[in-house]
Amino acid sequence: MKNIVVLVSGGGTNLQALIDAEQRGEIKNGKITCVISSKPDAYALERAKKYGINTLVCNRREYPDRKAYSSAILSLIQQENADLVVYAGFMIILDELVVRAMENKMINVHPALIPSFCGEGYYGLRVHEQALKKGVKLTGATVHFVNEECDGGPIILQKAVEVLDDDTPETLQKRVMEQAEWKILPRAVSLFCEDRLTVTDGKVKIVQEEQ
Ligand code: GAR
């Protein structure tokens, strides 16, 4: 059974989707063992506590720079014996020292079809604001491994979502979450825990289930 550590910063609906999937038995060979928040008041912490999941706070404001913060996060990840780290609405870019220590063992969910609307500055509602500004007819979500490049790691799963004429950033965010993020994140986590993801030349292949 693999230990899953989830990093959060906010409301935690993606964390909830993971918890619900685990409760339904859909995370095969994995268990959420700890939730770490970059903010002490993140609602995601309440969600975790409700299910008896261990919670930790690593407050970004208490560290002088990205490197110091990243070292602190890495220590916690190692202390928790994480086999997999999931960024579920975690809004901080960590230093490459974490990426190197956890290569192809950290996954992120991004609310757009990478390589569109991604990279530094594209997070949360901003992503949907930019998608609406551009007038794209399709957007979606991507789950990918985390590497040194912001939102640039190997893509595991993607799902497209239609943009409607009267969408606001908020309505679009909600549809992308419901139709894409909350489905592909638990699926990708399970595939990882089942050892069904391989990465070659920066590309992910999904190993078919044994019959
Ligand atoms: C989600 O839409 C997630 O994809 C996005 O922030 C939201 C967090 O919601 N993450 C990013 O933009 C990261 N670049 P949640 O806290 O309810 O899961």
Q: Would the CB of 17 count as within 6 Å of ligand 1? A: no
Instruction: Name the average pLDDT for the chain.
Output: 97
Domains identified in the chain and CATH numbers:
2-206 (3.40.50.170)
Residue found by looking up tokens 């399709």 in the block: 138
Q: Are strands 84-87 and 30-37 parallel, antiparallel or unpaired?
A: unpaired
Q: Would the CB of 140 count as within 6 Å of ligand 1? A: no
pLDDT tens-digit map of 123-149: 999 999 999 999 999 999 999 999 999
Active-site residues, by number, are: 110
pLDDT tens-digit map of 150-205: 999 999 999 999 999 999 999 999 999 999 999 999 999 999 999 999 999 999 99
DSSP readout, 35-98? EEESSTT-HHHHHHHHTT-EEEE--GGGSSSHHHHHHHHHHHHHHTT-SEEEESS---PPPHHH
Whether residue 210 is predicted with pLDDT greater than 80 in this model: the reply is no
Candidate of 6, 8, 9, 14 to mutate for ligand 1, largest count of ligand atoms within 8 Å of Cβ: 14
Q: What angle do CA 103, 106, 107 make, to 5 degrees?
A: 130
Could you give the CA distance from residue 137 to residue 34 in angstroms, rounded to a whole number? 38
Q: Are strands 138-145 and 106-110 parallel, antiparallel or unpaired?
A: antiparallel
Whether residue 47 is predicted with pLDDT greater than 80 in this model: the reply is yes
Radius of gyration of the chain (CA): 16
pTM over 0.95: yes
Identify any residues that bridge with 55 across adjacent strands, giving them in sequence order. 35
Residue 209 confidence class, pLDDT cut points 50, 70, 90: confident
